Amino acid sequence: MNDKRTEAWTPRIPMRPLVSPDGVSGLLDRMRHSAFQGRKLGEAFEVWQRMIDGDGLICLGVAGSLASAGLGPLVVWLVERGYVDLIASTSANVTEDLLELRGARFFQVDPEHVDDAELWRRGFYRFYDHVVGASDYDAMEDFTRGFFETLAKRWPAPAISGARFMHEFGGWLDAQGLGGSVAATCFRHRTPLFVPAAPDGPLAEGYRAAGAKGPVVDFFADYEIALRIMGRYMPPGPGTSAIFLGGGVPKDFIQITATSVKTIRGDTGPSPHLAAIQITTDNTVFGGLGGASVASECISWGKEAVDGLNVMLFADVTIALPILCQGLLERYGPMHQRRARTAIRSDLAALLGD
């Protein structure tokens, strides 16, 4: 059908195997013109490149059990190349990546036939289709008490912001030879790491076991820091964008800054993120934030732009993220670092008061 009714439409192309020097990146380009979630994966690849090529702030929200699934090194890789500038994460995803770095091993099991009572008797904790030794996990939790005891000696003030708390945690891990962790990588690259629900994970046990407990963590101070950063970058600044791996608290923490910045500015237009990618398996119809589309529902709150580059990808993060990262590696090359990275890092250091 070639008439004026179709002139503005992008043709759907059939998928077929193709020998291409572009590998995965070329495949993602072709998938952009396919259908369903394959099309959305291609769109996410296209939008992420636009984020990288621009001057705006790229935020990353990390939820779900991604560290135990082995995706921590991909988050580290994104930070190192400047493909994300700010992270909001669950507690588990910035502590459970310590397990393998400390020598623990994960083992695959058949989730449909595994005997959980037997796992308990044998001393294993299960994450759906993989397990880790309970003694290794408990030792990792106990290991973090050393951080709290060190912080109690080094930090004389009665309170500390959550962002500074995680910065100190990353520095402590780096000094312990665990520089491959997400927190330590954020420390070295001066990437703000927000963990709004830090006690919801191994750090809670480390705190409980610590012989000396230091400053109170002021998580409301984190929000003030986040608003300072977002207020600098949201229009008329160079803009902000977001990538959400799952939903949960990290997604909300990043998104609600848009509504607060608008309120602070007074009677002005909205201050939404100009682009957003969410990778989730949450269903929209149950009303949860994880399924609230960045391309529709979130626009009603002023969190995402009406005309923004917003991609809602319904897929397992363990499938989509490795493919997207491989595509970015092929597209930009192994030594690439984002052009805007140096300026953004300098900006953030000033905003954080470093």
159 pLDDT higher than 60? yes
323 pLDDT higher than 60? yes
Residues near 261 by Cβ (< 8 Å), separated by ≥ 6?
A: 227, 230, 231, 234, 271
Q: What is the mean pLDDT of the chain?
A: 95
Q: What angle do CA 245, 196, 63 make, to 5 degrees?
A: 20
4 among known catalytic residues: no
CA pair distance 123, 138, nearest whole angstrom: 11
269 pLDDT higher than 90? no
Q: 201-224, pLDDT tens digit by residue?
A: 999 999 999 999 999 999 999 999
pLDDT higher at 19 or 241 = 241
4 pLDDT higher than 80? no
Please confirm whether the linkage preceding 236 is cis (ω < 30° from 0). yes
C-beta of residue 250 within 8 angstroms of C-beta of residue 88: yes
pLDDT of residue 1: 53
What pLDDT band is residue 257 in, cutting at 50, 70 and 90? very high
Q: 88-144, pLDDT tens digit by residue?
A: 999 999 999 999 999 999 999 999 999 999 999 999 999 999 999 999 999 999 999
Burial class (CB in 10 A: 0-12, 13-18, 19+), 8: exposed
pLDDT of residue 197: 92
48 pLDDT higher than 60? yes
Which residue out of 40, 251, 262, 303 is catalytically annotated?
303
Mean pLDDT of 19-31: 90
Say what the pTM is: 0.95
15 pLDDT higher than 90? no
Q: Count of CB atoms within 10 A of residue 306's CB?
A: 10
What pLDDT band is residue 2 in, cutting at 50, 70 and 90? low
193 pLDDT higher than 60? yes
Q: 295-316, pLDDT tens digit by residue?
A: 999 999 999 999 999 999 999 9
8 pLDDT higher than 90? no
End-to-end CA distance of the chain: 60
